[in-house]
Amino acid sequence: MHKFKIVKTEKSEFRVQFVYNSEVMVWSENYASKASAKNCVESLKKNAPGAAVVDLTKQETGSGYRFEIDEAKNGESFVRFRAANGEIMVRSETYKSKSSAKSCIASIQQRVAEAPLDEAADAS
């Protein structure tokens, strides 16, 4: 089952995770408040399903809410989701194949809108 978690960091900040079973698919930057982390969840639910996919390794460009596929220093692929203002909202781990990065995006687009926020895992 796909779901959101908000976890509290060691510095008492908050990070959003989008999780499938126990695997973290993407995670956010740290937010100073839990309310800001919840805003991130709501924005992902609203904007990720129909967002464009831009492959930066092919010099594609985009604007607005979008997924980006990029290459890490080790040559593996990873995914970022950018807000309309260009800020990175979440990013993924690295994948050995670009097809795995594309599968990550497809899974998020198909399931994020209906994914619950796991209140049991929700940080206080």
CA–CA separation, 104 vs 92, rounded Å?
A: 8
Residue 119's pLDDT band, with cuts at 50, 70 and 90, is: low
Q: Cβ–Cβ contacts within 10 Å for residue 11, how many?
A: 7
Residue 22, pLDDT score: 87
CATH of the domain at 103: 2.30.29.80
Residue 48, pLDDT score: 97
Q: Is residue 69 classed exposed, middle or buried when 0-12, 13-18 and 19+ CB atoms within 10 A define those classes?
A: buried
Whether residue 119 is contained in a domain is answered as: no
Residue 118, pLDDT score: 84
Whether residue 25 is contained in a domain is answered as: yes
- Whether the CA torsion 17, 18, 24, 26 is positive or negative: it is negative
Residue 69's pLDDT band, with cuts at 50, 70 and 90, is: very high
Residue 80's pLDDT band, with cuts at 50, 70 and 90, is: very high
Whether residue 120 is contained in a domain is answered as: no
User: In the predicted model, is pLDDT for residue 122 greater than 90?
Assistant: no
CA–CA separation, 105 vs 91, rounded Å?
A: 11
Whether residue 123 is contained in a domain is answered as: no
Whether residue 72 is contained in a domain is answered as: yes
CA–CA separation, 96 vs 114, rounded Å?
A: 29
The domain of 78 spans 2-111
Question: Strands 88-92 and 77-82: what pairing?
Answer: antiparallel
Whether residue 124 is contained in a domain is answered as: no
Residue 68's pLDDT band, with cuts at 50, 70 and 90, is: very high
Say how many domains are in the chain.
1
Whether residue 118 is contained in a domain is answered as: no
Residue 121, pLDDT score: 52
Residue 75, pLDDT score: 96
CA–CA separation, 48 vs 24, rounded Å?
A: 17
Q: For 52, how many CA atoms within 13 A lie in the half-sphere containing its CB?
A: 13
Q: Is the Cβ–Cβ distance between 88 and 16 less than 8 Å?
A: no
User: In the predicted model, is pLDDT for residue 83 greater than 60?
Assistant: yes
Residue 66, pLDDT score: 98
